Structure 1
């Protein structure tokens, strides 16, 4: 715990005042608090609405229950929990520097962010590895539904173990009349504290991002050169469309990963810097810096549903169906087919529709002698 004097505009004052009035030296002016509250409320509403919709799209439609979508479901679940149980409470604490929510919630407040961050990025990494195996090693056995659920359970278990020290050492203290929720590491554990934070940052950020960078780079080179190994189980005519679908999915997940990386990097750098230079926490401006960096990091929870809706046709259909009660949303009939019908049935419908069109076009032309075929072909462009 850092003992310091609050520095603000060249004047020094006590770092904290009595919280009997709910005011400390870090309390924000009313207009600033209102602006930040609107920004965080917007983030929470968009994140919860978008991720709950993604969860509904996957669970309510059997065709969407694939290995990849189970990992996307896991990612959406972690983002929903983060937006619901962490963002608002952390904002109130950061904007007032007073902990109002009791000892029990103090433990979970320090525990769950590490869990959610670990679950989110390792769900992305699992998707990257699964796609890598499907594209680069198509003849290797694929993950089953049971194996996928076991991996998801293992991700949550490891995440909980990694975050346990945050839970164990969390405590509520009263410092000069101000109630605070802190992680109170033992006096002889400062080196361990530093090593723990560096380990968390490496395991929840740099290591999985390095793995995803390598896998998506290899997949990108392979797909864009159209040299997918092995004979894919699709026809020659369908092969370009099959590769195009893989390209679209890779693009979608690359955007998701890059967005996550950009949102969380400043937040991690902030804590790395604070670990070595703890005096920065004594400056008044650091509150505004933290609120901005925390908002950016938490905003990663609301971007993924927007990315899915923009870049994936099935999720876009699901969002239109979910919000069909809105007057400006009118889902076409194809949306239900994309979510409720199997791929083979859709291909059969498409083939039958194509045959029907061809037969209609044929029947619209009168039979002509062979010597008039040249005239008929010449006249076709004028007919349509």
Structure 2
């Protein structure tokens, strides 16, 4: 940040305006700092518990292990780690203006947040691409299980390459007797290399994937809301199937919009700081920074809440996960939602439904992984159609 910055940023993800060398410590009164600590602690607890539960719901139940749900697991893992590491340790560093965690963790703290944000948003992009192929081009081959794992591995590798320069230039310095974790970029003409890197990363981990998802979900929405099933097929299972697909699209659009809103002010803050460094000299900037950082980090805790509120299967999964709580009482229906295997007659009916949809020119049901049909079906009777959360 600037030389007169009140707040030091230890690389927070996308902003990438990593670790300034300013020496002005936080001067907030103790009660104010305690309120911020409570706010951040609540955020971290909700994000870690919520995303860990999402991962358990999917991985612990064979029926849930589908192509799209693997991307949801990848997204949940990235959000969990972002909250546990970036939000926690960066808040401690910014609060005390002293780096307590050693050289090795300094490298990690300047590497992982960019990786985690890249993985988060490109997992959302992969879900959008998978839904686009399933709904707009239902006759095209779907991504296989091994292919899905390869895509996930590729996302992490590209994220590592993108974050590596900031990690490479990380170092520990002493500033007026205080230990600092900083990114010491090479000297260049007016800091153009640093500015170019920051703008490139922000474009790649925010604006570009959002544009891709906007286009994909726009086409998906037009496809779903424009198509109808003729005659009697407009009623019953086929209509409920289309309704489930539409509800899934609405769910994922809400996830993407929430992410975009949470991170936009933070990105704009650091883009502005690259051109007007004097903004860091104002006394109020520490409160602005903490508020924007909390808003950005809060994006890690909303997805589990959205899943639980909008999807019946996830609500059942959360009730099962928290059945030890006295106010949570899972039912037998909740267990069947996640564990019941469709009967042979239902599978035959499902195949017949697929053929009917193809003949009607409607969207085709998704391909399966490990012999299981994908996606959450909100408001549909058990075993009529596959679960379609992450699948539409």
Could you say whether these structures have the same fold, taking a TM-score greater than 0.5 normalized by the shorter chain as the test?
Answer: yes
Partner Cα distance (1:302, 1:103) in 2: 29
Gaps of 5+ in 2: 8-21, 351-392
RMSD: 2.3
Which residue is equivalent to 2:298? 299
Partner Cα distance (2:185, 2:161) in 1: 17
Assess, with a 3 A threshold, how the Cα gap between structure 1 residues 265 and 347 changes in structure 2: closer, same or farther: same
Which of the pair has more CA radius of gyration?
A: 1
Q: TM-score, normalised by structure 1?
A: 0.82
Q: TM-score, normalised by structure 2?
A: 0.80
Assess, with a 3 A threshold, how the Cα gap between structure 1 residues 325 and 200 changes in structure 2: closer, same or farther: same
Partner Cα distance (1:346, 1:337) in 2: 17
The answer (yes or no) to whether the contact 2:228–2:234 under 8 Å persists in 1 is no
CA apart distance, 1:281: 2.0
Which residue is equivalent to 2:321? 322
Q: Deviations over 1:315-359 (max 9, x none)?
A: 1110010011111111121111111123456948x99xxxxxxxx
- 1:260-271 equivalences under 5 Å are 260-271=259-270
Partner Cα distance (1:148, 1:274) in 2: 39
CA apart distance, 1:216: 0.6
Partner Cα distance (1:201, 1:151) in 2: 22
Partner Cα distance (1:136, 1:5) in 2: 50
The answer (yes or no) to whether the contact 2:25–2:95 under 8 Å persists in 1 is no
Which residue is equivalent to 1:180? 180
Which residue is equivalent to 1:38? 38
Moved more, 337-346 or 125-134: 337-346
Which residue is equivalent to 1:282? 281
Which residue is equivalent to 1:215? 216
Partner Cα distance (1:117, 1:250) in 2: 22
Q: Give the 3-state SS of the residue equivalent to 1:173 in structure 2.
A: strand
Partner Cα distance (1:58, 1:300) in 2: 21
Equivalenced residues, count: 332
Gaps of 5+ in 1: 8-14, 17-23, 352-384
The answer (yes or no) to whether the contact 1:121–1:208 under 8 Å persists in 2 is yes
Is residue 136 of structure 1 aligned with residue 136 of structure 2? Answer: yes
Moved more, 99-108 or 275-284: 275-284
The answer (yes or no) to whether the contact 1:95–1:287 under 8 Å persists in 2 is no
The answer (yes or no) to whether the contact 1:44–1:84 under 8 Å persists in 2 is yes
Q: Deviations over 1:282-332 (max 9, x none)?
A: 322211111111100000000000000011111111001001111111112
Partner Cα distance (2:121, 2:5) in 1: 38
Structure (1 or 2) with the greater helix fraction: 1
Partner Cα distance (1:137, 1:98) in 2: 54
CA apart distance, 1:111: 1.0
Partner Cα distance (2:301, 2:3) in 1: 36
CA apart distance, 1:225: 2.2
Q: Deviations over 1:195-215 (max 9, x none)?
A: 110010000000000010011
The answer (yes or no) to whether the contact 1:59–1:65 under 8 Å persists in 2 is yes
Assess, with a 3 A threshold, how the Cα gap between structure 1 residues 180 and 284 changes in structure 2: closer, same or farther: farther
The answer (yes or no) to whether the contact 1:93–1:99 under 8 Å persists in 2 is yes
Moved more, 181-190 or 57-66: 181-190
The answer (yes or no) to whether the contact 1:27–1:96 under 8 Å persists in 2 is no
CA apart distance, 1:235: 10
- 1:250-261 equivalences under 5 Å are 250-261=249-260
Partner Cα distance (1:330, 1:149) in 2: 35
CA apart distance, 1:26: 2.3
- 1:53-132 equivalences under 5 Å are 53-132=53-132
Partner Cα distance (1:117, 1:137) in 2: 29
Partner Cα distance (2:67, 2:2) in 1: 47
Q: Give the 3-state SS of the residue equivalent to 2:188 in structure 1.
A: helix
Which residue is equivalent to 2:337? 338
The answer (yes or no) to whether the contact 2:67–2:143 under 8 Å persists in 1 is yes
Q: Give the 3-state SS of the residue equivalent to 2:26 in structure 1.
A: coil
- 1:20-31 equivalences under 5 Å are 25-31=25-31
CA apart distance, 1:174: 1.4
